[in-house]
Amino acid sequence: MPRIAMISLHTSPLDQPGMGDAGGMNVYVIELSRRLARRGIDVDIFTRATSSTLPHVMETDDGVTVRHITSGPFEGLSKDELPGQLCTFAREVLRAEAGLDAGHYDAVHSHYWLSGQVGALARDRWGVPLVHSMHTMAKVKNAALAEGDSPEPTARVIGEEQVVQAADMLIANTDAEAKQLINLYDAEAGRVEVVHPGVDLDVFRPQSKADARSSLDLPADADVLLFAGRIQPLKAPDVLLRAVAELLGRSPDLRSHLVVPIVGGPSGSGLEHPESLAELAADLGLSDVVRFVPPVAQSELARWYAAATLVAVPSYNESFGLVAVEAQATGTPVVAAAVGGLPTVVRDEHSGLLVDGHDPAAWSAALERVLRDDGLRSRLEAGALEQARQFSWERTTDRTLEVYREARRLMRADTDGVLA
């Protein structure tokens, strides 16, 4: 039976998305692993242990094995400090494999640059191909920094360049990301393949808006402008709040039935000032309409999407934009920044609206269009469902398996060339 070693060093796929470093990548790793397991492929996910109570080896209900690797303190270690644990983590991954039968793994699939560093070592040690998914890239993030956000360090840039050169195949979420890998990181075009992430259409599906609102204690007749995700400058929830303030300044009649839920927790540089968004809401006079909600499980998140009039995704960069496709799968239109992978996920004027830039005035105008124009909103709701059907985890799995096969072919060819 084929076996894949998934490496997700800095965040466990079992962590709750929307808090700390857990987000779309967590969902990606566990959902892909589950689908691979259903195809008869054993998947071991190597991730750093963040608690002494976690079992070293944990079998999930989906036939996936999670291996918790002890490297560094269990708590209090920021993502910026993780490079110092690379050697320990890599050593323990190699040690875990050494206790298995020879040739146990058929491929390594690493996620994010830190994991890619470990994956490159495992590739050479085990003699198997390395497939790498960047998820985010330092050069791209640094070119579109949010105000007050910190640039990614040079060490990460160098580390990413090394992983790009080491990988047998690179998976890009979108055509735009593929171009960035080639143009910014000198990746070989023949080693980059576009594979769109998916959405669980059984969880994120249309449901009664009235029932969803009732279960979440939202007024039946409310205009609900939802933000879901990690609260940090990169995700730009402040842009939504500033746009709402401008909207209410222009149309105060909307205030009596407006609700702006912010579903998620502080992350990244947002951890430095976890109360800053609530303070901004108060400064803008929005405390009566903004509701802060801690991260929730996917089934409840689906209810929030279904309850919303629209979902706002104002990020400064998104390699894909999982929130946008999840929201659309429930039939809710999305207003998103025209950056990164979001133009791939959101079809402008069909499943949502794309906004150039982050000017609150432009965002306010887009929000008001959806709220005021019933015909447009109905058209976008129908288009959202149609758009979301293009993204399924089954399709993602099919394409990923093709990449694994290509990585094996390319690695064999490279080896043949060396031997020749």
Residue list, annotated binding site: 10, 16-17, 21-26, 79, 112, 136, 156, 230, 235, 296, 305, 308, 318, 326, 332
Q: Which amino acid is at 64?
A: V
Looking at the chain, how many residues does it have?
420
Known binding residues for Mg(2+): 305, 308, 332
The residue assigned the tokens 């890239």 is 137
Sign of the dihedral defined by the CA atoms of residues 179, 180, 183, 188, in that order: negative
Is the Cβ–Cβ distance between 312 and 261 less than 8 Å?
no
Nearest Cα neighbor of 29 from 52, 57, 60, 1 is: 60
Known binding residues for UDP-N-acetyl-alpha-D-glucosamine: 16-17, 24, 230, 235, 296, 318, 326
Sign of the dihedral defined by the CA atoms of residues 91, 95, 98, 104, in that order: negative
Known binding residues for 1D-myo-inositol 3-phosphate: 10, 21-26, 79, 112, 136, 156
Strands 64-69 and 192-194: unpaired
Both tokens of residue 112? 């994010």
Both tokens of residue 348? 């402008």
Both tokens of residue 189? 């075009």
Alpha carbons within 13 A on the beta-carbon side of 371: 25
